[in-house]
């Protein structure tokens, strides 16, 4: 029978007295409270990178790329429109400002990669893509990224931006970044 502090009985259970120094949640000398238990720490701004690090373990033992693709499609098949909207908006608002050209490009690249995870570019389904739709989609995607990159550049790159826009065919955003990076080293 258990008795409470007033001495009245509360039932037929056996009372177990735990001394304050033997609390189950008390840290012991063998505990490591500062030990990192996850490979990637979650901060307020790195959810996508953090979640991908955790999810990578789930796909570690997949036998083939086809199996991996099918499993990922099952997990991530539904698009998340509010996140896509937020990423598109953030991409549209990114400007170089006080960032170096490398920091600016890297920031955009991270946002593009997150967007690609949520809303991948459609691919042609015809066998061997004889219609050219895959190539056209890739070129359009590359052109959009190049324009987003060029729009956010600081004014010191106005002349270089104009020269890049006159190139036929337009370079990839990676090539344009490389050109501007080399140009920045010469300034």
* Residue extents of the structural domains in the chain: 63-121+137-186
Residues 48-75 pLDDT 10s: 677 666 666 666 666 665 666 666 666 6
Q: According to the model, what pLDDT value does residue 169 have?
A: 93
What are 3's strand-pairing partners? 9
Residue 12, both tokens: 């037929």
How many residues in total does the chain contain?
187
Q: Is 131 helix (H, G, I), strand (E, B) or coil?
A: coil
CB atoms within 10 A of CB 95: 12
**pTM score of the predicted model:** 0.58
What are 9's strand-pairing partners? 3
Q: According to the model, what pLDDT value does residue 96 have?
A: 96
State the residue for tokens 């996508």: 48
């Amino acid at each position: 029978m258990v008795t409470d502090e007033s001495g009245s009985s509360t039932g037929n259970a056996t009372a177990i007295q735990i001394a304050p120094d033997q609390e189950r949640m008390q840290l012991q000398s063998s505990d490591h409270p500062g030990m990192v238990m996850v490979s990637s720490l979650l901060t307020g701004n790195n959810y996508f990178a953090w979640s991908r690090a955790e999810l990578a373990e789930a796909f570690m033992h997949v036998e083939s790329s086809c199996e991996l693709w099918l499993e990922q499609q099952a997990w991530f098949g539904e698009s998340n429109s509010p996140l896509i909207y937020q990423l598109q908006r953030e991409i549209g608002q990114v400007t170089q400002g006080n960032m170096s050209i490398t920091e600016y490009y890297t920031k955009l690249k991270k946002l593009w990669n997150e967007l690609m995870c949520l809303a991948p570019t459609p691919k042609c389904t015809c066998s061997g893509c004889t219609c050219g739709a895959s190539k056209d989609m890739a070129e359009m995607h590359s052109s959009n990224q190049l324009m987003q990159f060029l729009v956010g550049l600081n004014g010191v790159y106005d002349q270089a931006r104009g020269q890049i826009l006159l190139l036929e065919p337009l370079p990839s955003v990676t090539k344009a970044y490389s050109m501007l990076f080399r140009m920045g080293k010469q300034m």
